[in-house]
Amino acid sequence: MRYQVIIALLVIPALLSGCAESDIETPEGTLGCTYPDAMNYNSTAIVDDGTCVYREAPQPVLGCMYQGAINFNQAATEDDGSCRYPVVSEPTPGCTYSDAVNFDVNATEDDGSCVYDSDGDGILDDFETMGCVDPNANNFNSSSTDDDGSCDYDEDKDGVYDWAEKEGCMDTNATNYDPSATQSNLTMCTYPYILSLLDFQALLDDPEEIIDLSELSNVTSFVKIVDVSVSSEEEGMEIDSNANTTGLEMIMGHDPTNQTVYQSMVLRFMGDIQMEQTTLQGPDGINYRIGSSSSGSWYYARDEVYEYENPFQDDEEGSGEPSDDEGEGENYCDEFIEEDPFSWGDGWNITHIDGMNIAVSMNDSRGVAIRMELIGSSLNYLEISEVNGMARCSIEVMDPSRFSISVDTSLPRTSMTMIVENEVVEESGSTKTWSGDLSEEHFEEVDLAEIAIRVVYTDEDGGSIVASMPLSAQSMSFTDQCFQWTLSWSDSDNDGFTSTGDAYTASRAEKLIDPCAEDDDYRNKDFQIMFYDLWADMPTGGVFTPGFSLIPAVFAIIITAIIHNGKRD
């Protein structure tokens, strides 16, 4: 709108041309300051009248505009060159590294003087001397301050550290040759006793000193005895046939420290039939095996009242003397026990092999050969054999390291054996009674609470238990569908264990109240009395072979006879 007014004002004078200036009137209020930046700007003025008034430019604030100056003026707008700065002091040289021995906390400039003691041993790194610092080493260096891993502990350079060296006899010809020794000391060696014929003859004059096995009673030891005899009943047999031989092979041993006894016996009949039993017995129970290592299995049984019997202990009371019974065939073990075999030889030949003194002799009149192997003057092996036959007898002291002599309680359990005699079944009217007692041959003493007496029967459907009573209960009565039963056990010596003289009774009578019919199937069952081993969870008898209990008895008789033979007058 303003511009339109201006244009109109310009056009009108043109239209009024010819009019004098004095004739033109200026409207009031159209003059004024038309510049917006002026202090007196008039927004309604149309024509500027030159009256505009302007503000004066602000005066600069002089001062120091550099922040690092000590007189910095934050309000200054123009630096006037007046800035003043702090005075920088001279640097303090020294070691500025804190891990150095000579670290200077006041130093402001590192001067390269730092020294270090890396291992903290009080000796500066620059003065450390590397070497072996172990006084036990062969190359110990007293001037060394730091170990460099060069210590030598094998002075003889044999590949074995000095601390691991073992001094011993390394001469294989010595009796105490030590294969584990690493340093030889011949002064420690002992050499085999070379038995002279004269010394051997002196031993023969006192043979009980040679064959006395009681010297093994205090050490872990084992002895093997083999007796092969020929039966005279099999006439016409070929001499190279073994069908008419009977063999007995026994190994006995013990560990007196843990009071464990080892017994192994093999019986061979007619050359081919064989029975074998091995027993290991100690305070922890019994391990035994029926059969060989390939055909038999080990079992674990308990022996709650164990009494250790040293198999090599001399019996001063003289029990166990050899039997006078003689077999039909010649038995050279018996003859060895009853006679002096050392007087048989027509002459002795002595040789020495690997520390063993070997003496052999022949007796043409008897047709036998004798071989003795002695370590020093102690018998290690004796064999008497037919020269042209198969009969022979041998005794050998064995290496204990070949045997394990500790009871293994983790093996499968087997039961005890009840050796019962005088078993009777009696019937009187409607009452039936079973009875029996433990014989003198019974040897297993077992807690009565671990053995049960049971009434059982079997039929086409299998077996069933009618009743079961632990022997510790002593007596029990019960009634089934047809009968009144009474079970009892007599502990003859009141020791709480199965032992000789203990007896059982089981009786059955007709039920008085509501009896069963005569044709009742249950009435006609085949009732039996049996014993059950609760500890082993199986019937008593275990895996023992019938009749095999005779073997330990034979074994004990022969061994006792051999030991006592060495002590006879």
- The answer on 397 and 262 residing in a single domain is yes
CA distance 330 to 319: 25
- The answer on 222 and 326 residing in a single domain is yes
Q: Report strand pairing: 146-147 vs 130-131.
A: parallel
- The answer on 288 and 434 residing in a single domain is no
Q: Say which DSSP state 447 is in.
A: B
- The answer on 215 and 327 residing in a single domain is yes
pLDDT of residue 548: 41
Tell me whether residue 424 is in a domain.
Answer: yes
Burial track 399-427 (b if 16+ CB lie within 10 A, e otherwise): ebeebebebeeebebbbbbbbbeeeeeee
Tell me whether residue 126 is in a domain.
Answer: no
Tell me whether residue 10 is in a domain.
Answer: no
- The answer on 455 and 397 residing in a single domain is no
The pTM for the full model equals 0.57
Tell me whether residue 13 is in a domain.
Answer: no
- The answer on 336 and 433 residing in a single domain is no
Tell me whether residue 116 is in a domain.
Answer: no
- The answer on 444 and 388 residing in a single domain is no
pLDDT of residue 559: 52
Domain count for the chain, please give it.
Answer: 2
Q: Say which DSSP state 313 is in.
A: -
Type of residue at 317: E
- The answer on 322 and 217 residing in a single domain is yes
Token reading at 521: 């199937």
Give residue for tokens 């005899």. 229
| Regions of the chain with pLDDT less than 50 | 16, 19-22, 24, 234-242, 317-331, 544-551, 562-569
CB neighbours of 217 closer than 8 A, spacing ≥ 6? 256, 310, 312, 313, 314
- The answer on 488 and 453 residing in a single domain is yes
Tell me whether residue 14 is in a domain.
Answer: no
Type of residue at 190: T
- The answer on 383 and 426 residing in a single domain is no
CA distance 567 to 560: 11
Maximum distance among all Cα pairs of the chain, rounded to whole angstroms: 197
Range of the structural domain that residue 381 is part of:
197-340+376-402
pLDDT of residue 406: 92
pLDDT of residue 321: 38
Tell me whether residue 229 is in a domain.
Answer: yes
CB neighbours of 97 closer than 8 A, spacing ≥ 6? 103, 110, 114
Using CB atoms within 10 Å of the CB of residue 430, give its burial: 0 to 12 exposed, 13 to 18 middle, 19+ buried: exposed
Tell me whether residue 62 is in a domain.
Answer: no
- The answer on 227 and 302 residing in a single domain is yes
Using CB atoms within 10 Å of the CB of residue 473, give its burial: 0 to 12 exposed, 13 to 18 middle, 19+ buried: middle
- The answer on 382 and 246 residing in a single domain is yes
